């Protein structure tokens, strides 16, 4: 590396950012690897058990805050972001349709891990090619949610935005509808400066969270988070949280939907992130009827596939229980009851109880209305009430 002079590094940094934009990243920033400021907060989060059953979070210890322990020799992290907001951005309407399955926006298209990792690898190869003329071979490694990396802390240091109270990265020009990726590299590149925090006194994300998972500003208890419950957790969804999940069957966007900064978010140019018809705005019953082979076929290349068929059915069963009463829904639940995985069956049983209760309440209201109508007619005719 001694052959690379400081002026070369400055020019190389400009080139890296230009190459990154050409590869489809909306922003590229560079940070050093000193994340020691975050170690105390990470330790406290783990000690409180906020990571739930994600044991890998604890097993990696402080490696998440020490990039050079993850990849020895790392001197800088190139942090990138890529927009994923699809053209049909009015997804909030699906939250008002209790019989429609709501899937987090980021998961409606192609698996972002694959898209970003490929582009980051291309960026690393471009850097290596440029340095080969100087007889220098840099070492680099791309990451996209695939290792113990504090991606939001790194993005913050790299000037891509600030960490919002919902713990996601926010950008004044792009909100939070973007993916993050990192390229660890052993070059002493000039670093970018953090941007000013912009949340101020706003607590919209905290107030809006359906399960109150944001237990304090910048602190999320994953055990209550719908994204964790529907994606990461292999356990039964806690009974007390099920009614709060509504029709959310994979992930949750509420804290982003309500964030004022997302009014500035740009539509993605990546067709890979556009919604797949078989996933977007589909009736819960249609999704519930999928066989395992249909699930695998319809989620090929999608991040949804990794949760597996049983968790998919578990999540949908809860949403069906939360839906308004429907004879068709109750019939579908009864049809599958006792014929599926034991965990799924427990959630189906709960959903049957919810639908049955709503049916009984509806019938009771109808009976009451009929009685009231009869009394009204009796009074209008001037007859005794017991006539």
- Residues in binding site for [4Fe-4S] cluster: 199, 202, 205, 209, 225, 252, 255, 259
Q: Please state, in angstroms and rounded to a whole number, the distance separating the CA atoms of residues 320 and 315.
A: 9
**Residue 145 is a catalytic residue:** yes
Q: Half-sphere exposure of 97 toward its Cβ, with a 13 Å CA cutoff?
A: 16
Is 174:83 a contact under the CB 8 Å cutoff? Answer: yes
Tell me whether strands 248-250 and 140-143 are parallel, antiparallel or unpaired.
unpaired
Write out the binding residues for cob(II)alamin. 64, 145, 163, 180, 227, 252-253
What token pair was written down for 315?
A: 């999540």
With tokens 């600030």, the residue in question is 162
Closest alpha carbon to 27 in 77, 76, 82: 82
What token pair was written down for 273?
A: 């992130």
Tell me whether strands 140-143 and 162-163 are parallel, antiparallel or unpaired.
unpaired
Per annotation, catalytic residue among 8, 32, 68, 145:
145
Is 274:109 a contact under the CB 8 Å cutoff? Answer: yes
Is 58:148 a contact under the CB 8 Å cutoff? Answer: no
Write out the binding residues. 64, 145, 163, 180, 199, 202, 205, 209, 225, 227, 252-253, 255, 259
With tokens 């797949």, the residue in question is 276
Q: Please state, in angstroms and rounded to a whole number, the distance separating the CA atoms of residues 84 and 269.
A: 8
Catalytic residues: 145
């Amino acid at each position: 590396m001694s052959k690379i002079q400081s002026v070369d590094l400055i020019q190389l940094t400009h080139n890296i950012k230009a190459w990154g934009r050409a590869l489809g990243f909306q922003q590229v920033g560079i940070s050093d690897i000193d994340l020691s400021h975050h170690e105390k907060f990470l330790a406290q989060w783990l000690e409180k058990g906020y990571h739930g059953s994600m044991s890998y979070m604890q097993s990696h210890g402080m490696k998440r805050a020490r990039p050079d322990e993850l990849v020895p020799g790392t001197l800088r992290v190139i942090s990138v972001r890529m927009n994923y907001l699809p053209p049909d951005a009015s997804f909030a309407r699906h939250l008002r349709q209790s019989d429609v399955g709501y899937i987090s926006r980021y998961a409606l298209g192609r698996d972002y891990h694959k898209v970003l990792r490929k582009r980051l690898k291309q960026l690393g190869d471009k850097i290596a090619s440029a340095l080969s003329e100087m007889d220098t071979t840099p070492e680099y490694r791309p990451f996209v949610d695939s290792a113990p990396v504090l991606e939001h802390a790194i993005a913050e240091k790299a000037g891509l935005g600030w960490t919002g109270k919902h713990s996601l990265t926010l950008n004044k020009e792009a909100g939070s509808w973007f993916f993050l990726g990192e390229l660890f590299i052993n070059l002493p590149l000039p670093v970018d400066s953090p941007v000013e925090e912009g949340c101020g006194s706003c607590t919209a994300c905290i107030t809006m969270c359906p399960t109150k998972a944001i237990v304090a500003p910048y602190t999320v208890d994953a055990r209550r988070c719908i994204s964790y419950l529907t994606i990461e957790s292999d356990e039964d969804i806690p009974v007390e949280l099920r009614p709060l999940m509504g029709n959310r069957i994979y992930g949750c966007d509420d804290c982003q939907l309500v964030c004022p900064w997302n009014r500035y978010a740009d539509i993605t140019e990546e067709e890979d992130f556009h919604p797949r018809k078989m996933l977007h705005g589909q009736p819960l019953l249609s999704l519930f009827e999928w066989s395992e082979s249909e699930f695998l076929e319809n989620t090929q290349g999608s991040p949804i596939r990794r949760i597996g068929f049983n968790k998919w059915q578990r999540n949908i069963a809860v949403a069906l229980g939360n839906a308004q009463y429907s004879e068709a829904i109750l019939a579908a639940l009864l049809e599958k009851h006792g014929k599926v995985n034991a965990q799924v069956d427990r959630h189906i049983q709960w959903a049957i109880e919810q639908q049955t209760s709503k049916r009984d309440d509806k019938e009771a209201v109808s009976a009451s209305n009929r009685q009231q109508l009869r009394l009204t007619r009796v009074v209008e005719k001037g007859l005794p009430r017991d006539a």
